[in-house]
Structures are given as structure tokens and as C-alpha cells.
Amino acid sequence: MHKLINMAIVFVLVALQLPHSTEATEHPVDWIIYPEGASFYSSFASKTTFKPNDTLVFNFTTGTHNVVTVSKKNFEACNVSDVMEAFNTGPVTFTLNRTGMFYFTCAFPNHCSLGQKLSIDVTKASSSSSLAPSPSASRAAMPLAVTVTVTLPVLIVALAT
Ligand SMILES: *[C@@H]1O[C@H](CO)[C@@H](O)[C@H](O)[C@H]1NC(C)=O
Ligand SMILES: *[C@@H]1O[C@H](CO)[C@@H](O)[C@H](O)[C@H]1NC(C)=O
Ligand SMILES: *[C@@H]1O[C@H](CO)[C@@H](O)[C@H](O)[C@H]1NC(C)=O
Ligand SMILES: *[C@@H]1O[C@H](CO)[C@@H](O)[C@H](O)[C@H]1NC(C)=O
Ligand SMILES: [Cu+2]
């Protein structure tokens, strides 16, 4: 007597759809005074793309620095007598919750004029469905949708007695 057992096990698809490039990015910032002064932060800002809902994570030791947001005018003048927001406990996670400019500095005496100041321009996330070719060479523009399909071969087990 023959018994034929066909076992077909087909795993079609484990589809992993990673979030689109609009997913928020966390930007770590070592919030200190750099020897090269403000050019450190302007260089960092110009090399990085910031989108709405991205976060800046300012890492510093509480009591040695703080994070304040100021107006453009006070940013340029390093005037920290009238801040909009102040965060004194490090690390500080700040959500860039809109497009446009954000101006950060440290309110400890002279830290701003020593270059501890960071201006951030938050721009709309580019649409992945745009028909226009991207003019950007940004590495952040990689499409992140990944589909993984796992297929196990059909198993045929024939048992004879
Ligand atoms: C930012 O986050 C808020 C709240 O989580 C959400 O409503 C909004 O759509 C997000 N904006 C973008 C551009 O992703
Ligand atoms: C934050 O700064 C402290 C001291 O400067 C350092 O030891 C620590 O590794 C930093 N943490 C991160 C996440 O960079
Ligand atoms: C700093 O800014 C405040 C408020 O904006 C203003 O009243 C003050 O005069 C400014 N100080 C200097 C030295 O410009
Ligand atoms: C962004 O956050 C600030 C501070 O929490 C808040 O005052 C402001 O209304 C927020 N803006 C938007 C567009 O959500
Ligand atoms: Cu400081």
C-alpha cells in the first residue's frame, strides 16, 4: 500500500513596508563650545536636511550649558535676555514641529558669542511621488520601501510502506 503525502507549504510574503522618507529623523548634537566657534554649527546645519517632526537631541551636562530658543534678531546679536523657550536639563529633545527657521543658543554668559549657536531651516519633506527629478544629492533621499518575499519550496513527502 502506498501512501502519498503531499505537503505543500508555501510561505508567500512577509512584506515589510518600512516607513517612507517622511519618517522623522533624530539629529544628535553635542551641545558644547567648539574650538572653531560658530562655524562648527553652521557647517553641521548646512550639511543636514531637517524635516518637520525631526528632533534635535542636544547632549550636554546639566548646569554647564542650556538650550534656549530666541528670535532671529537676538540670535544674530547673541542677546539672551529675552528667550522664547529655555531647557535647562540635559539632554534636551526638541521637536522641529513646523517648517521655517529655529534659532538655538546657550544662555550661559558668553557661550553664544563663543559660537554655541545653531540656526536650523526646516523644509518640507520632498514627496516621493514627485515627477520632477530630484536636484538633491542628499543621501537622505533614498527610498526606504522594502518588500521582502520569503518563499519556501513546496515540500513533497512520499512515504511508501
Ligand atoms: C508631525 O507629527 C504630528 C503629530 O504626531 C502629525 O500630526 C503631523 O502630521 C506630523 N507632520 C509631518 C509633516 O509628518
Ligand atoms: C553625552 O555627553 C556625555 C558627556 O559629554 C557623554 O559622556 C555621553 O556619551 C554623551 N551621550 C551621547 C548619547 O552622545
Ligand atoms: C536684548 O533683547 C531685549 C528684548 O528683545 C531688548 O529689550 C534689549 O534691549 C536687548 N539688549 C541689547 C543689548 O540689545
Ligand atoms: C510647536 O511647539 C511650540 C512649543 O511647544 C508650540 O508653541 C507651537 O504651537 C508648536 N507649533 C505647531 C505648528 O505645532
Ligand atoms: Cu553653553
Give the pLDDT band of residue 125 (cuts 50, 70, 90): confident
As given in the structure block, the three cell numbers for residue 132 are 520632477
Single pTM value for the model:
0.73
CB 5 within 8 A of CB 157: yes
99/52 Cα distance (integer angstroms) = 6
Dump the DSSP string for 117-132: EEEEEE-PPPPTT-SS
Fold classified for 22-146: Immunoglobulin-like (2.60.40)
What does the pLDDT look like over 6-61, one tens digit per residue? 332 222 222 334 445 568 999 999 999 999 999 999 999 999 999 999 999 999 99
Task: Say how many C-beta atoms besides its own lie within 10 A of residue 127's C-beta.
Answer: 11
What does the pLDDT look like over 54-103, one tens digit per residue? 999 999 999 999 999 999 999 999 999 999 999 999 999 999 999 999 99
Residue 85 parent element (H or E): strand 85-87
- Ligand 5 mean position, distance from CA 18 (Å): 38
- Ligand 4 mean position, distance from CA 155 (Å): 58
- Ligand 4 mean position, distance from CA 142 (Å): 29
| Identity of residue 4 | L
Structural domain spans, the chain? 22-146
Q: Give the closest residue to 121 by CA, choosing from 42, 67, 34, 33.
A: 42
Mutate-to-test residue for ligand 2 from 30, 57, 58, highest number of ligand atoms within 8 A of CB: 30
Phi and psi torsions of 107, nearest 5°: -90, 0
Atom of ligand 1 nearest to the CA of 51: 13
User: Once rounded to an integer, what is the mean pLDDT over residues 153-159?
Assistant: 29
